[in-house]
Amino acid sequence: DADVTQTPRNRITKTGKRIMLECSQTKGHDRMYWYRQDPGLGLRLIYYSFDVKDINKGEISDGYSVSRQAQAKFSLSLESAIPNQTALYFCATSGTPAGGPHNEQFFGPGTRLTVL
Amino acid sequence: AQKVTQAQTEISVVEKEDVTLDCVYETRDTTYYLFWYKQPPSGELVFLIRRNSFDEQNEISGRYSWNFQKSTSSFNFTITASQVVDSAVYFCALSDDSGGGADGLTFGKGTHLIIQP
């Protein structure tokens, strides 16, 4: 089974709808991240979380919110989706259960979101 | 602010040729980490290498090699004897170590590598 899973893998929605993307991990990592990828722009950080009680905005947080329901779960919400939020969204985790370097990130398979 | 530049948007070579992907970074931190990720057509992100700022030794892993030069703020990636399966988008990324590096990776825009048979 995959260590970092994302649901759904693909989603098509309409402008104005509320959308939630979910991420779960079995790696025991404390830190989790949400990125979006747009063609030709690479990946950009939306939000990140150090632990359940610590959530931080990334480079492009406007129009998004997150929830860290548990150490293993980190959800991304689009309260009112708009077409320019059409992108590939990645969840990532970092950290080791016993401590140590926190910089290597492990990515989920991605969620392709289309907003019409 | 951190910045990663991958000036080559797309590179196309014939199979078995050697190819180098360039990465130039900017950071004010003395402690930082550099990464390369591969994104094949299937879309997942595959971790290739991590290098910290105190280790300037070049690294070789099979047909892959990395050249880290702090003097030019570059971390270039070379594929020797390229194969069609190497076709992918390759991302260079940077993370500093303040707060344990928990503030995410800064990615370059990626280089699309096409290996023609």
Please, which pLDDT band fits residue A30 given cuts at 50, 70 and 90?
confident
Residue A37 has pLDDT above 50, yes or no: yes
| pLDDT tens, position by position, A44-75 | 999 999 888 889 998 899 999 999 999 999 99
What is the average pLDDT across B23-42? 92
Does any CB of chain A come closer than 8 Å to the CB of residue B110?
yes
Q: Which of B43, B45, B102 sits opposite A31 (nearest CB)?
A: B102
Q: For the residues of B64-111, what is the DSSP string, one character each?
A: EEEEEEGGGTEEEEEESS--GGG-EEEEEEEEE-GGGGTT-PEE---E
* pLDDT at position B100: 47
| pLDDT tens, position by position, B81-115 | 999 999 999 999 998 755 444 568 889 999 999 99
Residue A28 and residue A100 in contact, taking contact as beta carbons nearer than 8 Å: no
* pLDDT at position B99: 46
CB contact under 8 Å between B95 and A101, yes or no, is: no
* pLDDT at position A33: 94
| Token pair of B13 as six digits | 């070579």
Smallest Cα distance from B82 to chain A, Å: 23
CA-based torsion, B75, A60, A31, A88: positive or negative: negative
Each as own residue / partner, the long-range contacts of residues A44-50 (CB below 8 Å, 24 or more positions apart, any chain) are: A44/B107, A45/B103, A45/B104, A45/B105, A45/B106, A46/A76, A46/A89, A47/A76, A48/B102, A48/B103, A48/B104, A49/A74, A50/B99, A50/B102
Give CA separation, B59 vs B45, B49, B55, in Å.
21, 9, 10
Does any CB of chain A come closer than 8 Å to the CB of residue B44?
yes
CA dist., res. B9 & res. B18, Å (int): 17
Residue A100 zone, left/alpha/beta (φ > 0; ψ -120 to 50; rest): left
CA dist., res. A103 & res. B8, Å (int): 26
Residue B76 has pLDDT above 60, yes or no: yes
| pLDDT tens, position by position, B36-75 | 999 999 999 999 998 888 888 888 889 999 999 999 999 9
Please, which pLDDT band fits residue B29 given cuts at 50, 70 and 90?
confident
Smallest Cα distance from A16 to chain B, Å: 27
Residues of A in contact with B99 (CB under 8 A): 50
